[in-house]
A and B are shown apart, each in its own frame.
Chain A
Amino acid sequence: MDSSGLGVRRAVGFVAPALLLIGVFLVFPALWTLYIGITDYRLTGPAAANPRVVGVDNLVEAVRDPLFTNSVWLTALFVLGSAVVGQNVLGFGLAWLLRTVRPGVRRLVEGLVLLSWILPGTVVAYLWFAVLSRDTGTLGLLLGSPETAWLVRYPMTSLIIFNVWRGTAFSMLLYTSALAAVPPSQLETARLVGASGWQTVRDVVFPHIRGHVLTNTLLISLWTANDFTPFLLTAGGPDHRSEVLPVLIYRQALESGQLGYASALSILLLVGNLAIALVYLRLLRRRA
C-alpha cells in the first residue's frame, strides 16, 4: 500500500537521513558498547593494548559485585524517592494549587520552579554545594549547626531533595496542562455534592489524567535513573553511599579505567530502563 503516493524509492530517500543519523549516533554506539562489554578492555595497562574477549564474565562479575548491588539499590531509592514520589507529588500539588491563585502569583511561582529546571547542571551543583557544605554552608548557618557536612552525613537524602527541587518543573507543567483537560462541570458537580478536596482529586480528576500520570512517571523515572548530576555533588561518596548507577559506571570506566566492565554495567542499566519502560507501557495499554 502506498497511501502517500511517493513510491518506494522516494520514500527511502526521505527517511534515509534520519536513519543515517540514528545509525551513526545510536545504533553504532549501542553495538559498540555491547562489544566492549564482552571484553576486558581497559583505559591503561596491557589490556588497553591487547584486549581479550571474556564473554559474559563481566556480567557475572557485576551481579556478584557488592558495589553493583549497592548501586542498584541506591538507584531504585533515588528514582522512587525523587521522581516517582517526590517530583510527581510536588509537581501535581503545585499544578493543583496554582489553578486557583491570582495569575500574577501563579506566574511568579511557575517562573521560580522553572528556573531551577533550566539552570545548567554545573551551576546548580555549585549552588547546592554552597548551601550544604560545612562551616560556611547556608543550611548549616540557618539551622545553627554549621559543623554538619550535609552531603557527607546524609548523602542520599540530600540527593533526593536536590533532585526533587531540580526536576519538579517538568511534572508541574505537564500536570498544569493535564488539569486544563478536566471538564469544569464535573469539578463543579463534585463541589455541589460536597466532595472533599482529596475525594475530588481521587474520583474526578485522576480518572481523567491517568494517562498523563503514567507518561510523566515513565519519563521522569528514566531521566532520573540516567541522571549524572549526583556525581557533581557527592562523586558517589562518602564510601559509595551515594553511588547511583551512572556514577558507578563513570567511576569504573574512567577512574578505575575498566572500560569493558563499565560497558557491561551500562548494558545492565539499559536493560533495567527497558524493563521499567515495558511495565509502564503495559499499564498505559491496559487503560486504553
Chain B
Amino acid sequence: MRRTAGLGLLAVCGLLAGCLGQTQSGDQARNADAKEITLTIVANAVSGGKNARGAGWLRNWVIPRFTELQKAKGVTATVEFEQNGAGDEDYKTKVALDLKTGGGGDVVEIDGIWLGEFAQAGLIKPLDEVVGSTDWDGWEQIPDAVQGLGEFGGKRYGVPMGTDGRVLFFNKKLLAQAGLPVEWQPRSWQDVLDAGAELKGLAGVTPIQLNAGTAMGEATTMQGVLPALAGAGRPIYENGKWQGDSAQVKDVLELYRKVYGGGLGDPVLQQEVKGRDRSFQLFSENRIGILLESDYFWRSVVEPRNGVARMADRDTAVGWALIPARQAGAGVGGQDFVSMSGGGVRVVNPNTRYPKQAWEFLQFLNSAEAVEESLAGTAQLTQRQDVNDKVLRGDPMLTFVSEKVLPITRYRPGLADYPKVSAALQQATADVVAGRSPDEAAGAYRAALVKAVGEGNVG
C-alpha cells in the first residue's frame, strides 16, 4: 500500500515535468525610480589572490566612483563586490547554482564560452529582455569579433570584457643555457620538440608544459588540444559536426605522446589536483622551458608586481613566439601559425531587483575611463578600441598579440554541447599521458563524443 502511494507520487511528479524548469519574467522598469538601491557584482577575483588587480579595481575605484555618481543623482547606492578565488570550473558551478535558484549577484562575470549553455538553460536572458533599451555609445568602440563573445543565437546577452590570444611562452635564460636562440620562433611542431630535446639536457628543468588531463579542465582544451588541432589543420567544429577520431585528432594525440611519452613533459604534473597553478610556479622558478598560455600568463601570472607566480625579471627573461602549425602551411586555412581566443562577459542577472540600474552600472564598468583605470598602468586587450589604441603601445607582448595573434586566431564554437566535447578531449589527453596509445585514446574519445552529442553530430 505504502509503496503504491510512493510510486503514485513519483508518477504525478513525473507528469508535471515542468516542476524543474525555470519560469520567471520581470517588468524591465521595476524599481526604476528607487531612491535607495543595492547592487552586487560577482567576479572570480579576490584581493591578494586570483585576478587581484581586477578585485582591487572593483573595490577601490569602481564602487566608490559609481556610488558618488548615483549620489549626484539623488540615489543612495550600495554596491557590493562578491569575491571568489576559485578554479574556473568551480566558479562556473557556483554561478550556475546561484542563478538557478533565483539568487546571484546583479551583474555577473562569466566566461564567454559558458554563454550558450547558460542561455539555453534560461539562467540568463538577452540583455534587452532584462533591461529594456540597450542603447549605448560604447558599442561602437567594441569590435564585432569581440562583441560576438557576448552573443548567442544572434542575440546579445552581455558586454564582453576584452579578449586574449594564445602563444608559446619560453624562458630565455633556459633557452640560452641550452644553446638555443633567445629570439626563438619555431616553424613546426618538430621545431618545438627539438628545442624540448635540447632543454632536456638541463638538470631539474621540464622542457615543455602542454596542458593535458582532466584536472586542468578547460585549460587543457584551450591551451592544449584546440591550438594543436588548429595547427593540424581542422577546427573542432566544422560544417555542423564535431570532429571525431579524425587523422587530425590523432596527430594531436601523437604530439601529446611525443611530449609526455618522450620525457619532454612531466606527466605527473598533469594529474595533480593543483597542477596548473604548480606549472605557473615552476615556470617562474626557471624550471619549465616552454609553456603554452594566453596573454593572461604575461599580465597576471608572471607579472612582477601582482602576479600569482611573480617573476621579477619577467621583461627580460620571458619570451614569446607564435604557435606553429604541424608544419608550415598545415594549419587551419593553410596558415603557418595558429592561435585560439576567448574572453569574459559581464551579464545582468534576470532576477535582479534593479534592472535599469544594473545596466547603468554595466555601462559604467565598460566606460573608457573605467576600462583604462582597470588596467592600473599595465596593458591588456580590452574590449574598447579607444583604450587599446592608447595602452597597448607600452607593452611589447600585448602589442604582439594585438598585431600578430588576433589576425590569425580562432574562437571556440559557442554551443551548449561544447563543454561535453571539451571534457571528452581532456579525457583523451589524460589517456595518452597515462600511457595509452593515441589510436586507443582517439577511439575512446569518439565513443565518448557519440554518447555526448549523438552519432549524427559527429563528423
Q: Are B268 and A35 in contact (CB under 8 A)?
A: no
> How does the 8 Å CB contact mask read for A264-278 relative to B, with 1 for contact and 0 for none?
000000000000000
Q: Are A43 and B96 in contact (CB under 8 A)?
A: yes
- Give chain B residues whose Cβ lies under 8 Å from the Cβ of A43: 93, 96-97, 100, 121
Q: Are A134 and B122 in contact (CB under 8 A)?
A: no
Asked if A254 is at the interface (CB within 8 A of a chain B CB), the reply is yes
Q: Are B271 and A46 in contact (CB under 8 A)?
A: no
Q: Are B120 and A46 in contact (CB under 8 A)?
A: yes
Distance in Å: Cβ of B423 to nearest Cβ of chain A: 7
- Give chain A residues whose Cβ lies under 8 Å from the Cβ of B13: 31, 35
Q: Chain B interface: which of A48-56, A87-95, A190-198?
A: A48-56
Interface pairs (5), CB distance under 8 Å: A48-B122, A48-B123, A49-B22, A134-B268, A238-B213
5 tightest A-B CB contacts, nearest first: A238-B271, A48-B121, A44-B117, A45-B416, A49-B122
- Give chain B residues whose Cβ lies under 8 Å from the Cβ of A46: 120-121, 416
Chain A residues 14 to 49 lying within 8 A of chain B, measured CB to CB, are 31, 34-36, 38-39, 41-46, 48-49
Chain A residues 229 to 256 lying within 8 A of chain B, measured CB to CB, are 233-235, 237-239, 254-256
Number of A-B contacts (CB under 8 A): 100
Q: Are B118 and A44 in contact (CB under 8 A)?
A: yes
Asked if B456 is at the interface (CB within 8 A of a chain A CB), the reply is no
Asked if A149 is at the interface (CB within 8 A of a chain B CB), the reply is yes
A48-B100, A153-B268 given. 17 additional CB < 8 A pairs? A36-B20, A38-B14, A39-B14, A43-B96, A43-B121, A44-B114, A45-B417, A46-B120, A234-B273, A237-B213, A237-B214, A238-B215, A238-B271, A238-B430, A238-B434, A239-B271, A239-B431
Report how far A256 CA is from B423 CA in the complex, Å.
8
- Give chain A residues whose Cβ lies under 8 Å from the Cβ of B117: 44-45, 257
Q: Are B21 and A51 in contact (CB under 8 A)?
A: yes
Asked if B272 is at the interface (CB within 8 A of a chain A CB), the reply is yes
Report how far A50 CA is from B149 CA in the complex, Å.
25
From known contacts A39-B20, A44-B114, A256-B423, infer whether A152 and B268 are also in contact, taking CB-CB under 8 Å: yes
- Give chain A residues whose Cβ lies under 8 Å from the Cβ of B100: 43, 48
Chain B residues 81 to 123 lying within 8 A of chain A, measured CB to CB, are 89, 93, 96-97, 100, 114, 117-118, 120-123
From known contacts A48-B120, A51-B17, A239-B214, infer whether A257 and B273 are also in contact, taking CB-CB under 8 Å: no
- Give chain A residues whose Cβ lies under 8 Å from the Cβ of B154: none
The B contact surface, by secondary structure, is helix
Size class of the B contact interface (CB-based, 8 Å): 35 or more
Report how far A31 CA is from B21 CA in the complex, Å.
18
From known contacts A44-B121, A235-B273, infer whether A35 and B14 are also in contact, taking CB-CB under 8 Å: yes
Asked if B376 is at the interface (CB within 8 A of a chain A CB), the reply is no
Report how far A31 CA is from B273 CA in the complex, Å.
34
Report how far A134 CA is from B206 CA in the complex, Å.
15
Chain B residues 207 to 221 lying within 8 A of chain A, measured CB to CB, are 213-215
Q: Are B22 and A152 in contact (CB under 8 A)?
A: no
Asked if B176 is at the interface (CB within 8 A of a chain A CB), the reply is no
Report how far A56 CA is from B213 CA in the complex, Å.
32
Report how far A72 CA is from B19 CA in the complex, Å.
31
Asked if B10 is at the interface (CB within 8 A of a chain A CB), the reply is yes
Asked if B454 is at the interface (CB within 8 A of a chain A CB), the reply is no
Asked if B328 is at the interface (CB within 8 A of a chain A CB), the reply is no
Distance in Å: Cβ of B257 to nearest Cβ of chain A: 16
Chain A residues 129 to 181 lying within 8 A of chain B, measured CB to CB, are 134, 149, 151-153
Contact of A149 among B118, B215, B272 (CB under 8 A): B272
Contact of A31 among B10, B118, B120 (CB under 8 A): B10
Distance in Å: Cβ of A131 to nearest Cβ of chain B: 15
- Give chain A residues whose Cβ lies under 8 Å from the Cβ of B97: 43, 254
From known contacts A48-B22, A48-B123, infer whether A35 and B89 are also in contact, taking CB-CB under 8 Å: no
- Give chain B residues whose Cβ lies under 8 Å from the Cβ of A39: 14, 17, 20
- Give chain B residues whose Cβ lies under 8 Å from the Cβ of A239: 213-214, 271, 430-431, 434
Report how far A134 CA is from B266 CA in the complex, Å.
13
Report how far A102 CA is from B289 CA in the complex, Å.
59
Q: Are A51 and B20 in contact (CB under 8 A)?
A: yes
Distance in Å: Cβ of B262 to nearest Cβ of chain A: 19
Contact of A45 among B6, B19, B120, B423 (CB under 8 A): B120
Chain B residues 1 to 38 lying within 8 A of chain A, measured CB to CB, are 6, 9-10, 13-14, 17, 19-22
Q: Are B121 and A42 in contact (CB under 8 A)?
A: yes
Chain B residues 407 to 442 lying within 8 A of chain A, measured CB to CB, are 416-417, 419-420, 423, 430-431, 434
Distance in Å: Cβ of A231 to nearest Cβ of chain B: 10
Q: Are B96 and A235 in contact (CB under 8 A)?
A: no
Distance in Å: Cβ of A49 to nearest Cβ of chain B: 4
- Give chain B residues whose Cβ lies under 8 Å from the Cβ of A52: 17
- Give chain A residues whose Cβ lies under 8 Å from the Cβ of B430: 238-239
- Give chain B residues whose Cβ lies under 8 Å from the Cβ of A151: 272-273
Closest to A147 in B: B268
Contact of A35 among B10, B120, B121, B214 (CB under 8 A): B10
